[in-house]
A and B are shown apart, each in its own frame.
Chain A
Amino acid sequence: MKKRWLILTIVLIVIAIVLAIVFVNLFRPKNTQALAKNVTSVTNSGYLSEENSSNKQIDQYLELLSSQNIEKEEVEAFFKAYQAFEVAGKFFDRQMIFSTYSKTYQNNLKNVQKNFQHAQDAAQKLENYLLDNLEKIDDSFVGRPQWLVLSWQDCKADMKALLVYSGNAFEALTNIFVNSVASKIVNNTFCQVVLQHFRQTAKFSNEETLDGAALLSFANAYLSVEGEKQILQHEFSQDLQNKAKDLQEKQQESEFFKAFVEGTLIV
C-alpha cells in the first residue's frame, strides 16, 4: 500500500514537471534577435563593413586591378556588386531587429547565417592571399603588372564565391523580411518589388556575369538611407502605390520600369 502511494506521487510529480516545461516553452516569447545579431555583426564588423580588414584589402586590390586595366570590365562588375551588397546589408541591418517570429524566419535563419559565414570565409581567404603577397602588390615590385594578371586568376573564384554566397544570404533575408516585418510602412508592396528585383539582379547569369554597376545604382536608389525614403512614402502616396502596382503587373511593358531599374523612379 505504501509503495503504491509512493509510486503514484512520483508519477504525479513527474507529470507536473513535464506539463510545466511544456507550458513554459509554449508561452516563452520567441527570440528574433539571433538574425538581427548576425546581420549587425556582418555589416558592422564583418566583410560587409568598410572598417573590416578583409573589406579594405579587397577594395584596395580591386581598385588597383581596375586602375591597371586588368580585366577591367569584370573587375569593376565584381567591385560594384560588392559595394551594392554593403548597401543592402545596411538596409537589412536597419530592419531585422523589428521583425516578428514566423515560420519563414525559423526556416531561413540558418540559411542566412550559413551563407554569410561562407562569404566571410571567402573574404578571409582573399585577405590572407593578398597579405601573403604584399610585396608583389607594392609598386616597387618589378613584375607587378604580370603578377596582377595572374593573381586575378587565383582570386576570381573566391571573389565570385563571396558574391554568390552573399546573394544567397540576401535571398533568404528577403524571404524573412516579407513574412516577418509587421510594419506596412516599411514592408509594403513597393518595398517587396524593390527586394524582388534586387534578389533577381544579384545572381550570376548563365553567362557568368553580374551587372555590378546596375546593382549598385539600384541599391543606392532604394536601399540606402536616402533611397529608403521612397519606400517609406508608399503608404502616403497614391501615385507611388499605382506605380508599384504597375511594376508588379506589367513590368515588361511599363514605361517607368526602366526608370525603376536605373534607380531614377521618383515619387
Chain B
Amino acid sequence: MKTKRFFLALFLCFCSVFTVFGLVGCKDVTLGTLKESYEFLSNQISQNSQVFAQDGTLLVESYGKKVDANIIANKSEYVELRDLYNSTLTIAFEYAQENKDFILLLDEAALNKASKAALKTLNASVNDFANSIPRFVEAHQTFVAHFQNFSDDAQGDASVLLRFKKTYGEMVKKCVDFSSNTAKMVESTEIFELLKKTQPSAADTITISQYIRAKLLPIFSEFKITEIANKMNWQLLLNNGDAQMKQTLQALVGNLDTHFANYKQTFLHGNIKTQPLSSEEINDVFNLTENFLVEMESFFQALYGLDLNTFASVYKNNMKEYLKTNQFAEVYLQKLQQFVNVSLDNFIKTVSSKLYV
C-alpha cells in the first residue's frame, strides 16, 4: 500500500511539473498593460526632470558649468556625451514616442500571434528602460557633484567619468531596445505589407524612413556604447597592439563615426521626398532593407564573437595570441570591416537617394 502511494505520488508529481511548465509564460500582456507601462515611464521622466530637457525630448541637458566647459572645449571623452550618448538616446526615444499612439490604438482583438509576442517584448522593454532611469539620475548627480569640486583646468578623476558613462550606456541600451522593439511591434501589424501593395502617401514615406532609422540605430549603439564603453574605455582598444592593428581598429572606429554622422544627417535632417514613391520604388526599398537587416545580424554575430573587451584588455590587441583561444577572431574582425566600410556605406547612400531629395 505504501509503495503504491509512493509511485502514485511520483506520477502525480510528474503531471504537475508538466502542467506548471505549460502554464509558465501564459500571462498575457494587453494594450491596457502597455498603456500603464508607458505611464510609468512618463512618471519616471517627469520625476527626474531636473536631468532631462524640459521640452519633452529625452536629452540630458545639464552637467553643470565645469563639465559643460569641458564639452565645449572639445575634450573628446566629454564630447562623446553630447555627440553619441545624448543623440542616440534622443533618436531612440523619439521613435518610440512617435509610434506610441499608433500602437495603443490598435484593435486588440485583431492582433495576430506575432503582434502579441511583440507586444509582450515591447512592454518588458518599456519597464526595463523606465527602471534604468533612477540609476542613471543617481550616477549623473554623483558625476556632476564630483566635478563641481575642481577648478576650471582640473580634469578630476577620470574613473568617475568612466563609471558615469557605463551607467549612461546601460540606460541608452535599454532605450535603444525600447526603440527596436517598437519597430518590431509596428512591423508585426503588417502595415508595411499593405504599403507594398498600395500607393503609399508622402506620410507613409516618412513612416518607412523612421522605421529604417530605428532599425539602423543599434549598429552604432551596440558597437560604440554597449560593447565597448560599457565594458572598458576607448584607450584600451585604440592604443594597444602593433602599428598595423592600431591602424585597423582606428580606421574601423573612425569609419563608424563617419557613418553615424551621415546617418544623422540623412535620417534626422534630410529632406524627405514630398512626391510619394511608386509601389515599385517602395518594394525596392523594402527588399534592400530586408536584405541589409539579415547582413546586420552577421555584423552583430561578429561584434559579439570578437569580444573587443577581451581582445583589448586581456590580449592587448595581439591577434596572433587571441587566435589561440578565439579561432574566428580574425574572421569576425574582417566581417566588421567589410560591413562598416562597404555594406553600411552602400546602404545609407542608396536608401537616402531613394527616400530623400
Interface residues of A (CB under 8 A from B): 1-2, 5-6, 9, 12, 16, 36-37, 40-41, 44, 93-94, 97-98, 182-186, 225, 228-229, 232-233, 235-236
Contacts and interface: CB of A to CB of B under 8 A. Distances in A.
B292 interface: yes
A136 B346 CA distance: 55
Contact of A94 (B10, B288, B305, B331): B331
Interface in B249-293: 288, 291-292
Contact of A97 (B288, B292, B331, B338): B331
B316 to A, nearest CB: 20
Nearest to A12: B11
Given A2-B3, A236-B346, A185 B328 contact: no
A93 B333 CA distance: 12
B187 interface: no
B342 A232 contact: yes
B7 A183 contact: no
A235 B332 CA distance: 22
Interface residues of B, number: 32
Contact of A185 (B8, B295, B301, B323): B295
Contacts of B142: none
Given A16-B14, A225-B334, A186 B295 contact: yes
Interface in B311-357: 323, 327-328, 330-332, 334-335, 338, 342-343, 346-347, 349-350
Q: What are the nearest 10 A-B pairs in CB distance?
A: A185-B295, A184-B291, A236-B346, A9-B7, A183-B295, A98-B298, A232-B342, A236-B350, A183-B294, A5-B4
Contacts of A2: 3-4
A265 B331 CA distance: 27
B343 A232 contact: yes
B343 A185 contact: yes
B327 to A, nearest CB: 5
Contacts of B297: 182-183
Given A185-B291, A185-B343, A37 B334 contact: no
A235 B297 CA distance: 17
Interface of B: 3-4, 7-8, 10-11, 14, 288, 291-292, 294-295, 297-298, 301-302, 305, 323, 327-328, 330-332, 334-335, 338, 342-343, 346-347, 349-350
A228 B342 CA distance: 10
Given A9-B10, A229-B342, A94 B335 contact: yes
Contacts of A16: 14
A43 B298 CA distance: 21
18 contacts: A5-B7, A6-B7, A40-B327, A44-B323, A44-B330, A93-B331, A98-B301, A183-B294, A183-B298, A184-B291, A185-B291, A185-B292, A185-B343, A186-B295, A233-B346, A236-B346, A236-B347, A236-B350
A82 B342 CA distance: 29
A235 B298 contact: no
B78 to A, nearest CB: 36
A104 to B, nearest CB: 18
Given A2-B3, A236-B288, A9 B11 contact: yes
User: Looking at B305, B343, B347, which has the most chain A CB atoms within 10 Å of its CB?
Assistant: B343
User: Looking at B7, B14, B305, which has the most chain A CB atoms within 10 Å of its CB?
Assistant: B7
Contacts of B288: 235-236
B252 to A, nearest CB: 14
B6 to A, nearest CB: 9
A183 B302 CA distance: 14
Contacts of B292: 185, 235
Contacts of A93: 331
Given A9-B10, A185-B292, A235-B288, A98 B335 contact: yes
A233 B345 CA distance: 10
Nearest to A236: B346
Contacts of B327: 37, 40-41, 44
B328 A40 contact: yes
Contact of B294 (A6, A44, A185): A185
Contacts of A182: 294, 297
B356 to A, nearest CB: 16
Nearest to A232: B342
Contacts of A183: 291, 294-295, 297-298
A181 B295 CA distance: 10
Nearest to B349: A236
Given A98-B298, A232-B343, A235-B291, A36 B328 contact: yes
Contacts of B349: 236
A185 B335 CA distance: 12
B7 A232 contact: no
Given A6-B7, A183-B291, A233-B346, 15 more contacts: A9-B10, A16-B14, A37-B327, A40-B327, A41-B327, A184-B291, A185-B291, A185-B294, A225-B338, A228-B338, A229-B342, A232-B338, A232-B343, A235-B288, A236-B346
B16 to A, nearest CB: 13
A244 B8 CA distance: 69
A236 B291 CA distance: 11
Contacts of B331: 36, 40, 93-94, 97
